[in-house]
Chains A and B, each alone.
Chain A
Amino acid sequence: MKNISYRYGVNLDWLDELAAAFNCEVENGHVYCSNDTITGTLYGLQINEELSVFIQDAVYHTDVFYKMSNNDDDFVGVYFNLSEGDTVQITDNMQKAVGRWAYNVAVIDSVLSADYLIGSGSNVFSISIFIKKTAFLRSISSIPNFQEIRDVIFDADRNTLVRFERASNQAWFLMSELRKVNFGSTLYDTYLVGTVYGLIADYLDQIIDHDIVLGRVYQEDIVSIVSSQSQLIEKLKQPFPSIKVLASSVNMSDSKYKNLFKKVTGTSAKAFFMANKLDAAKEMLDTGSYSIAEVAHHFSFYDPSHFIEQFKARYDVTPKEYVTLY
């Protein structure tokens, strides 16, 4: 196990320290690593004086225990994590799993220290956004129920901010789009900054729409719903399993399941399933090797027109228009 103590900040002067801890080279914000600890790229970019981003796309060859303690207390870190593998996050002595369908968005006030472990063999893809508290509050101040939201997300007793959540479909979509862009491309920064704004916008939408409910949901219920989500994701090629089947697999009544699913994810199970199915179908169309009918069949749509109708409803263009204008 390798121990790494580090700090973050909107100003990226900590990047050199982190690179040194890994014995890696830094060049224009890029940290290239290829040793027996990790292989991959870490990259930091300051977007403006209030906002910066740090991205990590790496494979870990040994367990790494991160000990975070910041010098600056004037920012909030928003961490999006698409990692696969044995990744564990520990904060305040509580272990919370970070993985594709568990908690994968964390918002942590810079005054708190957060320690976590990344297991050997993990394939880490994460985007960390650092935003000055003043800017964070300013950006949510236009929200109608700003006062209420501010009181909920900032724990009144300690006046600090900690939230663990799941990334929305839109956030997944944004991150996977970014992942398709080559690190070396001159357009990389343009895509990266665009993605950061998209993620912030989407996060604000979550706060506005429904996420506020989350505080009143029990931990074990969240775990059940998250595991149910992951079941659905594995079955995208099949028709929608009934609510009855889904509910009984997590030992809930139909009505409890439906309510909780909506509370935790903000959409119904069926809408969640369809949205992910369509995203996957769109990716299949992107390959250019399948006809619309084949894609419709592959994802068990009732018939191609059903697929076309749903596709159009989600993206506002028909699959054919999408393919031919691409």
Chain B
Amino acid sequence: MSETFTFTIDGVEVEGEPGQTILEAAQAAGIYIPRLCHKDGLEPWGGCRVCTVTVNGRSASACTQPAAAGITVENETDELVDMRRGIIEMLFVEGNHFCMFCEKSGNCELQALAYRLGIAAPRYEYLWPTRDVDASHPDVLLDRNRCILCARCVRTSRDLDGKQVFGFVGRGPGKKIAVNASARLSETGLDVTDEAVDACPVGAILRKREGYRIPVGLRRYDGTPIGSDIEKGASS
């Protein structure tokens, strides 16, 4: 066992181990730092910026920043919470998110974060981009309207499934999720049992014929805010 050290998050003393990120150390201590592109078991990505905290007063993404002895981390300040709301709202207006009929509703991490942060409507104008749907695969649907470019499918397919089904093309506002084929998802080696299918935090990648199976009220975030499992871990 390597030597542990301590640092503080919002004034609470937390233990860290060498090699841990701030997000991981916080999580181990039962402190939830909101995140979207991060998924346990994947290499940190640092793209969504929802987990932005301040470290000794400077902004950093908690999912990539190593925990270190004696640092002062701020997580739940009014300013940071409002910036996180801003980022979530950016993601909502950037894509075409129709929660009212989305199969992922109730189990969607983007939606759940918006609920947790108390967002009733985004402050920014909707951008209504033109994006396409790839329904070519017999078992899996790829709806780019809902994609938030978190790269979870990209990393999961590459690092856990040992394939490379997904990638990105374009840059800036034109960046979009692409598949490892000249045209469609059906031409890739994606299998319905691939972990990449479940890696999507939103409804961009979905198993076909499974929508709405869980009744409203019993879905993951219907009654329990996202992150409660981590916070519960602390009290037990």
Q: Do A and B come from one complex?
A: no
Q: List chain A positions with a Cβ less than 8 A from chain B.
A: none
What is B's interface to A at a CB cutoff of 8 Å? none
